[in-house]
Amino acid sequence: MRKTTGFFVFSLSLFSTSLHSAIGWAGPEPFRLERLDGRQFDYNLESFLQRLSFTEKSIFDNAPLWQQNGWYGTGGSSRGKEFYVHSLLQQKLQFEAPVFAGFRHKRSEDLDGRYDRTLFGVGYQADNAWDLGVWADVSGAKEDMDLQFEVNRQFSNGSWLTGALVLADVFYNSKTYGENRYQQSPVTLYAAAGQQFQQQQLSGFLNLNLKTRYQDAAADQLFSDEQYSAGLNWQTRLSVNTELAVQAQGLYGRRSTQQLQLGLSESDWLMRRRFQQLNVELRQADGGLRPLTYGLQANSLQELDSRFAAGQRAAENRRELFSYIATEHALQGNWLAKPVLYVGYASARSEFRQQGDEPLRDNGWLAKISPNFIWQLSTQTGAYVVINPTVKLHNLQFGGGNVQVFMPF
């Protein structure tokens, strides 16, 4: 990220969509075998508001991950017994020869639960304009290794293009000790691009997890999984001091199990998931006035499960709309306060719960304030840390504290 003057650098990175990088904005999101076990936790009425208020990146700041060496993330208590973590770390080293070596680590969560991904990569790089690399998620068990082939192109006008092919669990069938097998191996196709115009910027991504078929010999079951996601981001400058950003993203997934001895004609279980998210942000720069950011986020999540209403009604159903407003106040030394007020309405129904037998059926108005005390660590790189003890206004309770980091290398 280029250096800017004053404290305005912070307004680039305090807001994000709840599942921004877990859907595909930060790179490929391949299939993982643990996905077949489902989420390890339950959502409540406040879950997506919590994640919105804990996140650290603006939809204005959507440069591709391969351009950003550094550590970016947030971590904090989202519920009494749960901790939310979203962390991205990358270091890419260049040499006198036209080659590179790199390391990436991601710890986050998506609609299927929490996960880690660690990649080591090497490749060819030409004049910082493009690179061709091979990355691997390496573990002690060879059956769990992923290979990622990646190409990136940077243009002189700031536009960019990236593509990737991910072969998850690429050696599984030949290296596993058990009898389980992939009948159809997991493959992910990924493409993303950004185009710079005079006063506008358009970017987007496409992440395709093609159909995977996995045979569990012990359970005598055949699992089938496929998932597709896409996103589009448009930004424009309305005036010298005012910018507008609109971002839409969506996901469709289908998962089923079949008993092998009964043949492949009928599914014992089927789940179909649809998720949509829309964000709008209006940002007012200094211009002699106090900086302000206005935002809206709309979420829709439906999971149709054949165990409930024969799959004709959603077993997990969420509809919510949040608005927020933020301003900035310079404090002493290298400290800045950026309070954010969130107000919105949520409606949630969940028929199957991991931590209880009673279904969730809840709706209501929600409000929350995040003070966001920002400590600038380096004016040269823009590095900072955010300390954020939040308060829920709808029930006057502590809303969970979190720490956010933005540390370019």
Listed in order, strand segments (DSSP E) in 27-159 are 70-79, 82-94, 99-110, 113-126, 130-137, 146-154
CB 24 within 8 A of CB 231: yes
Mean pLDDT of 12-37: 72
What is the per-residue pLDDT for 17? 45
361-370 confidence digits (pLDDT tens): 999 999 999 9
β-strand partners of 317: 302, 349
Distance CA 277, CA 257 (A): 28
Residue 332 CB partners (closer than 8 Å, separation 6+):
none
Mean pLDDT of 265-286: 86
**Mean pLDDT highest for which of 25-29, 62-66, 124-128, 294-298?**
294-298
Residue 246 has pLDDT above 80, yes or no: yes
Distance CA 70, CA 57 (A): 14
Q: Predicted confidence band at 227 (pLDDT cuts at 50, 70, 90)?
A: very high
Q: Predicted confidence band at 6 (pLDDT cuts at 50, 70, 90)?
A: very low
What is the per-residue pLDDT for 218? 87
Distance of CA 194 to the CA centre of its chain: 18
Closest C-alpha among 282, 259, 256 to residue 270: 256
In a domain, 131, yes or no: no
Q: Rounded to the nearest 5°, which phi and psi values hold at 52?
A: -65, -45
What is the per-residue pLDDT for 267? 54
What is the per-residue pLDDT for 340? 93
Distance CA 168, CA 206 (A): 17
Distance CA 276, CA 298 (A): 8
β-strand partners of 136: 120, 147
What is the per-residue pLDDT for 14? 40
Decide which of 168 and 309 is more confident. Answer: 168
In a domain, 238, yes or no: yes
What is the per-residue pLDDT for 236? 95
Distance CA 352, CA 367 (A): 27
Q: What percent of the chain has pLDDT over 90?
A: 65
Residue 56 has pLDDT above 70, yes or no: no
In a domain, 229, yes or no: yes
Decide which of 265 and 290 is more confident. Answer: 290
CB 13 within 8 A of CB 58: yes
Distance of CA 48 to the CA centre of its chain: 13
H-type alpha helices, 89-146: none
In a domain, 194, yes or no: yes
Distance CA 400, CA 85 (A): 13
DSSP strand pairing (82-94 vs 160-167): unpaired
**Gyration radius of the chain's alpha carbons:** 22
Mean pLDDT of 187-195: 96
Distance CA 404, CA 75 (A): 7
DSSP strand pairing (384-392 vs 340-350): unpaired
Residue 308 has pLDDT above 90, yes or no: no
Distance CA 25, CA 58 (A): 12
What is the per-residue pLDDT for 40? 85
Residue 5 has pLDDT above 50, yes or no: no
Torsion-angle region of 48 (φ positive above 0: left; ψ -120 to 50: alpha; else: beta)? alpha
Q: Predicted confidence band at 8 (pLDDT cuts at 50, 70, 90)?
A: very low
CB 146 within 8 A of CB 170: yes
Q: How many residues does the chain have?
A: 409
What is the per-residue pLDDT for 260? 81
Q: Predicted confidence band at 67 (pLDDT cuts at 50, 70, 90)?
A: confident
What is the per-residue pLDDT for 297? 96
Distance CA 77, CA 44 (A): 14
- Alpha carbon separation from 93 to 69, 117, 131, 311 (Å, rounded): 9, 19, 12, 50
Distance CA 74, CA 312 (A): 37
In a domain, 128, yes or no: no
What is the per-residue pLDDT for 288? 62
Decide which of 101 and 24 is more confident. Answer: 101
In a domain, 122, yes or no: no
Decide which of 56 and 80 is more confident. Answer: 80
In a domain, 242, yes or no: yes
List the single range of 22-26, 91-95, 366-370 with lowest mean pLDDT.
22-26
In a domain, 102, yes or no: no
CB 110 within 8 A of CB 249: no
DSSP strand pairing (314-327 vs 181-184): unpaired
CB 54 within 8 A of CB 400: yes
Q: In the chain, how many domains are there?
A: 1
Q: Predicted confidence band at 359 (pLDDT cuts at 50, 70, 90)?
A: confident
- Mean of the per-residue pLDDT values of the chain: 88
- Provide the residue range defining the domain that includes 370: 6-82+139-144+155-160+170-408
- Burial degree of 389 (CB within 10 A; 0-12, 13-18, 19+): middle
Closest C-alpha among 343, 402, 406, 409 to residue 11: 406
What is the per-residue pLDDT for 12? 35
Decide which of 64 and 7 is more confident. Answer: 64
Residue 273 has pLDDT above 70, yes or no: yes
- Burial degree of 261 (CB within 10 A; 0-12, 13-18, 19+): exposed
Q: Predicted confidence band at 317 (pLDDT cuts at 50, 70, 90)?
A: very high
Is the Cα torsion angle 372, 366, 395, 44 positive or negative in sign?
A: negative
Q: Count the neighbouring beta carbons within 10 Å of the beta carbon of residue 25.
A: 26
